[in-house]
Amino acid sequence: MREIALVYLDRSGGLQKFVHDCKKYNDSKQSYAVYRFTISINPSDITELDATLGNYILHKPIQAAQIFQSVCFIAIKTLSLIEQLQTEAQVGILLKPTHLPPLPSYILSLSSFPFNYTSQRFYMSEGIAIAMGTVIKYTQGARFLCTGEICPFSEGCFRYIRVHLPGATESATVRSDFVCSLCSSPLQEDMKFRVLGDKQIVEMIDVKVLNALKGYSNDKSHFRSQTFTVFLR
């Protein structure tokens, strides 16, 4: 699937954009814990190339991002695109689909049953924003070092990289209870390499509530509406 991912990037122009993004990182001469790249994906085009990879992108986007992560890391090292990059864990990939199949199973509707939305895959959702919070910072990635004085992972390496994943809490990225897998000493974050991003919380409500606001009634005395929270990162 890595070969198919590389072919798609080449044909879609994504590889050229990726090289351009790498150049901006390399020109800065600054080392980052995580180098983030956004890759636009057309599910229909990539499914025609390889149905398995297309299914991964639609239903297992986190695993699919790991495939593109491996491809991008190999490209960076082969073409020497970012001199400061050391490990594959430092490559953060965000897959951004151009569209989703126009099928009911890809539409997230919180007003219909059953709520079978336990899988971590892409959904389309339509609603009305009724409240928006301020834009705040959150940790996209961080580097940790071992506190053991004689441990080889105590300085200069990028062995322990924490990257925020969709659906995870902030504490999953930055905590104080991580330990070294080699010597079991506590890990401490190297604050110089923390990568921050913008986050905004939006309260939304299903579009079907418009019928109630317009005065439509189906003699449902138990009718009520409930908001849901969306995290924009």
| 1-43 pLDDT tens trace | 999 999 999 999 999 999 999 999 999 878 889 999 999 999 9
Q: How many domains, the chain?
A: 1
Which of 130, 18, 142, 122 lies closest to 69, judged by CA?
Answer: 18
Asked whether 95 and 39 are in contact (CB, 8 A), the reply is yes
The answer as to whether 47 is a domain residue is yes
Cβ-count burial of 110 within 10 angstroms (0-12 exposed, 13-18 middle, 19+ buried)? middle
Within a domain: residue 212? no
Backbone dihedral angles phi then psi of residue 209, each to the nearest 5 degrees: -65, -20
Give which of 163, 162, 172, 232 is closest to 198, Cα–Cα: 232
User: In this structure, is residue 41 part of a structural domain?
Assistant: yes
Instruction: Answer yes or no: is 80 within a domain.
Output: yes
CATH number of the CATH domain containing 64: 3.30.1640.10
**What's the token pair of residue 193?**
């390499």
**What pLDDT is stored for residue 181 in this prediction?**
92
Place of tokens 């057309």: 42
Q: Running DSSP on this structure, what letter comes out for residue 203?
A: E
Would 145 be classed as within a structural domain?
no
State percent of the chain over pLDDT 70.
Answer: 91
Q: Is 36 inside any structural domain?
A: yes
Question: Which residues span the domain enclosing 45?
Answer: 1-102
Query: What is the model's pLDDT at position 30?
Result: 83
Q: Which of 166, 158, 160, 145 is nearest to 231 (CA)?
A: 166
79 by DSSP, 3-state: which? helix
Mean predicted confidence (pLDDT) in 181-196: 92
Give me the residues paired with residue 223 across strands.
none
Q: Is residue 207 part of a domain?
A: no
Give the confidence band of 82 by pLDDT, cuts at 50, 70, 90.
very high
DSSP letter at 90? Answer: G
pLDDT tens across 51-63, in order?
999 999 999 999 9
In a domain, 125, yes or no: no
